[in-house]
Structure 1
Amino acid sequence: MANRDVELLAVGAGPSNLALAVALEELAPGLARDSVLLERDEEVSWQRGMLLPEALSQVSFLKDLVTLRNPRSRFSFLNYLHATNRLNEFVNMGSFVPYRVELADYLKWTADSLSLVDLQRGRECLDITPVWTDGTLTGWDTRVADGETIRSRYLVVGAGRDARIPDLLRTVDQDRVIHSTQYLPRIAKLRKDLPYRVAVIGAGQSAAELFGAVQRDLPECKPTMVMRSIGLNYYESSKFNNELFFPSHVDKFFDARPEAREQMLKEMHHTNYSGLAPGTMDALYRSIYLDRLSGRSRLNMVTMSDITDARDEGDEIVLELTDRRTGETQELRTDLVLLGTGFSPEMPRMVQEIAKSIGLSEIKVTRDYRLEIDQPATAAVYLQGVNEATHGIADSLLSVLAPRANDILQDILAHRGETPEVPPQPTSDADTADTADPVVATR
């Protein structure tokens, strides 16, 4: 028996579901009042493990939770800057990309600004089971860690992908293995005066940031970067490539033949993965250059090498590295392994379990992100941020947050036989002459 019934339950208060919550409040206030957003952590954040002070977002501030859907929204990044008295400083900086800590604070500010959607922090979803009525799927029972069960007709999963941890590194002491998603809280617990030998695994932005951060956070450490590639590369970016991150490209990608989708994903891989931002690349190379110049030989980089074995030996982890050019092996003895290995391309465990619970042999979604269910159903489930294979590379990024939230909401409203309650908008400058600009209006 459910302890509470709601119309819509969203799991995970990350950017995807926050964008949906904003769309609900602006376009469907009635539904918003019957919606719950669950967040397992005590506060809303974003990439909390890698909120390095100097790290920049790779996405324009205009691709926030709402602007591409409603530029006049009070939930925009610009209004956040105005509300926190930082608008002038940000404009003066002359950058389209905010710092990562700034973007995380914007998401927290948005969460605190919600007034209709019931955002519940510190509540972890343990499992989700389908509700059947006379052979028809009519809802979902979501069990929360505190024992409550919430029943909903609509379910939106936006909890993100699972961290990718190489199988070999799952067999060693996990107290010495830190994925980038856990870097800051776990590194803070270590003594700063010990000469740790650190292996940083990966060749992308996260690995490079870990390599730089650990030099500051553990000043006496000796880090070694290990990668399968021949070296580090910039992201492949151009204004032409960036058009493939436009919301309008989603339709083209979704309608493309499977072989065309595969080609596009392959060619777009280096626009977001296995690459570094120019600033990160330059800073990393300068640090290695200065290390060589000083003769310290503190920093090391091993390229074209696979980890072919890993074992615990006393108080250290021993990695066997096999050179892909020669086949020769060497041992790398470490005290700490940092993983800049990103996220698993597989569907998250939660999504797989939902699909299994209703007997689906394949996870497929519609253009509007609704899970295709091959049985009678009056309920529905939507997947956010995990549909690269059908919706393009931008699906796991911030680029399409606002339009995707709108797509999902419009599909839910159509499924319920409703139309959105669109708030009136000024139609000319004259209409706003005596009113506050909605972009900078405070709540």
Structure 2
Amino acid sequence: MEWRTKDVNTLKYDKLYDLVGIGIGPFNLGMAALADQTEVDAIYFDQKEEFSWHPGMLIDGADLQVPFLADLVTIADPKSPYTFLNYLHEHNRLYQFYFFNKLDIPRKEYNAYTRWVASKLSNCHFGKKVIDVIYQDEGSYYEVSIEDMQSSETQVIKSKHVVLGTGSVPNIPEGFEGYPNEDVLHTNHYLYREKELKKAASVTVVGSGQSAAEVFYDFLNDQDRYGYSLQWLTRSTGFFQLEQAKLGQEVFSPDYVSYFNNLPYEERMNALETLGTLRKGVDPSTLKNIYHLLYHRSTEEQPDVTIQPLTEVNGIEKKGKSYVLDCRQWQEDHAFTVDTDKVVLATGYKPHFPEWFNRIGDEIEWEDEKHFKVEMDQQLVFKDGRDNHVFTLTNLDHSHGTGATNLALSVERNKRVLNRVAGKELFSINTNTVFQQFSSKGM
């Protein structure tokens, strides 16, 4: 498709928009960048004052786990002005990136790139919170109430469709809430508390994914300098690397997501279990760096480090200025405790839904009590069969499998949403993208 120049998208309360996006994370930001080059009149809101991508985990040396081609737009439109390569061009960094000679890019640079795109888009509005969405059946549109976070004034705009991109919030285990943030915190706040954490006598990291490994490695690097005791605990059976075999990676393709989406619900849930190391494993280079550092230190003395899988952390109690963790090695069924001054929870995230979303629960179809039905183009299925859709980019594991959170496949999802809103194919839908096939139907 060719570039087009869209008029400055100032916020207008007296018009009917094609699409309103609620929340501006990488997924909706990518959709906004694609929509900016089309006829779709879309507008996006976020209560934050500016765009920032996981600022608490932008650790020096940490890279994305996907190639730079998984930027906001390239998979859909490599000619877009919002590609990562154009960002490099605009910032005179193409030669540096050429000599960098890696597909993966630093997390800090990905954050800088996405902030650059957000600053270029006139259809993204920050500091504005969507507080309600009401469907007007007679007019076939949604009334979207927006509160300005500075003035507290509320305005209402109209839109034919809505896309929910409110993302996720930290998943804090039961019993770990309410403690001082400087002592017990989730990884999404890690860099904000890093200096305080490293002044402690002992630190425990809980979890086994990429974030856990990056935080543990950061602690390990500075352990000699600060002298703390370091523990790494997880209930997983081991610290497993991300599967990187090329044929194995083909499950991160539109073909597999389409196959997955067409499976019966029970089969989809079973398949999620088998995709664990593909979706949640640790980058091999991170695990290698951890092991190499441990080995070099062990040539002089045994590091003051405990690394233990198969271990549930089921509770926490305050003990003076420190804490006691209630643990259980579940394979042996052996309970024990761990004393620690600080706890960093790398326990993942859970979907976040605004309060108004609860109101439409009875209007949509559900696959079970936790998972709503989602079509391949991310639209929720309303019982009344309305033509005005609510799309979701949140809570898609059960419907889109590997495509639920993958950055490259988020572009595929965005293409489908914009095509449906436009009522025509603005972006081609890719098929036959891999060398293997997943279904035997038609053979």
TM range (shorter): 0.7 to 0.9
Aligned residue for 1:139? 142
Aligned residue for 2:414? 405
Aligned residue for 1:99? 106
Aligned residue for 2:338? 332
Secondary structure of the structure 1 residue equivalent to 2:92:
coil
Aligned partner of 2:400 among 391, 405, 426: 391
Deviations 1:337-358 (A, max 9, x none): 10111112xx4232x7514345
How many Å apart are 1:124 and its aligned residue?
3.8
Deviations 1:126-161 (A, max 9, x none): x32324455x87314334343423433222111212
* 1:53 paired to 2:60: yes
Residues 337-376 of structure 1 aligned to structure 2 (within 5 Å): 337-344=343-350, 347-350=351-354, 353-357=356-360, 359-360=362-363, 362=366, 363-375=372-384
User: In structure 2, what is the Cα distance between the partners aligned to 1:23 and 1:307?
Assistant: 43
Aligned residue for 2:439? none
How many Å apart are 1:93 and its aligned residue?
1.7
Letter paired with 1:106: Y
How many Å apart are 1:271 and its aligned residue?
0.8
CA spacing shift, 1:337–1:191, aligned 2, 3 Å:
closer
User: In structure 2, what is the Cα distance between the partners aligned to 1:160 and 1:4?
Assistant: 29
Deviates more, 1:395-404 or 1:296-305: 296-305
CA contact (8 A) 1:172 1:311 kept: no
Secondary structure of the structure 2 residue equivalent to 1:368:
coil
CA spacing shift, 1:147–1:43, aligned 2, 3 Å:
same
TM-score, normalised to structure 2's length? 0.83
CA spacing shift, 1:63–1:93, aligned 2, 3 Å:
same
CA contact (8 A) 2:167 2:352 kept: yes
User: In structure 2, what is the Cα distance between the partners aligned to 1:420 and 1:276?
Assistant: 36
Residues 32-431 of structure 1 aligned to structure 2 (within 5 Å): 32=41, 35-115=42-122, 117=123, 119-125=124-130, 127-133=131-137, 138-144=141-147, 145=149, 146-153=152-159, 154-170=161-177, 172-188=179-195, 190=196, 194-216=199-221, 219-220=225-226, 221-273=228-280, 275-295=281-301, 297-344=303-350, 347-350=351-354, 353-357=356-360, 359-360=362-363, 362=366, 363-375=372-384, 377=386, 379-414=388-423, 420=426
Letter paired with 1:252: Y
CA RMSD of aligned residues (A): 2.6
CA contact (8 A) 2:170 2:188 kept: yes
Letter paired with 2:34: A
CA contact (8 A) 1:171 1:311 kept: no
Secondary structure of the structure 1 residue equivalent to 2:299:
helix
Larger relative contact order (Cα-Cα within 8 Å, sequence gap ≥ 6): 1
User: In structure 2, what is the Cα distance between the partners aligned to 1:323 and 1:152?
Assistant: 55
Secondary structure of the structure 1 residue equivalent to 2:68:
coil
Aligned residue for 1:23? 34
User: In structure 2, what is the Cα distance between the partners aligned to 1:179 and 1:207?
Assistant: 10
CA spacing shift, 1:74–1:181, aligned 2, 3 Å:
same
CA spacing shift, 1:335–1:3, aligned 2, 3 Å:
farther
CA contact (8 A) 1:137 1:376 kept: no
How many Å apart are 1:231 and its aligned residue?
2.8
User: In structure 1, what is the Cα distance between the partners aligned to 2:394 and 2:380?
Assistant: 13
CA contact (8 A) 2:204 2:230 kept: yes
Secondary structure of the structure 2 residue equivalent to 1:396:
coil
How many Å apart are 1:365 and its aligned residue?
1.7
CA contact (8 A) 1:291 1:298 kept: no
Deviations 1:368-417 (A, max 9, x none): 11111113645321111431211121221202122211100111122xxx
Deviates more, 1:230-239 or 1:96-105: 230-239
User: In structure 1, what is the Cα distance between the partners aligned to 2:246 and 2:35?
Assistant: 32
Gaps of 5+ in 1: 423-443
Letter paired with 2:26: P
Report the identity percentage: 25
Deviates more, 1:237-246 or 1:211-220: 211-220
User: In structure 1, what is the Cα distance between the partners aligned to 2:177 and 2:303?
Assistant: 30
TM-score, normalised to structure 1's length? 0.83
Aligned residue for 1:426? none
CA contact (8 A) 1:27 1:421 kept: no
CA contact (8 A) 2:45 2:126 kept: yes
How many Å apart are 1:42 and its aligned residue?
2.6
User: In structure 2, what is the Cα distance between the partners aligned to 1:244 and 1:40?
Assistant: 34
User: In structure 2, what is the Cα distance between the partners aligned to 1:4 and 1:167?
Assistant: 46
CA contact (8 A) 2:239 2:282 kept: yes
Deviates more, 1:53-62 or 1:240-249: 240-249
CA spacing shift, 1:258–1:359, aligned 2, 3 Å:
closer
Deviations 1:313-362 (A, max 9, x none): 23222111122243332221222110111112xx4232x75143452463
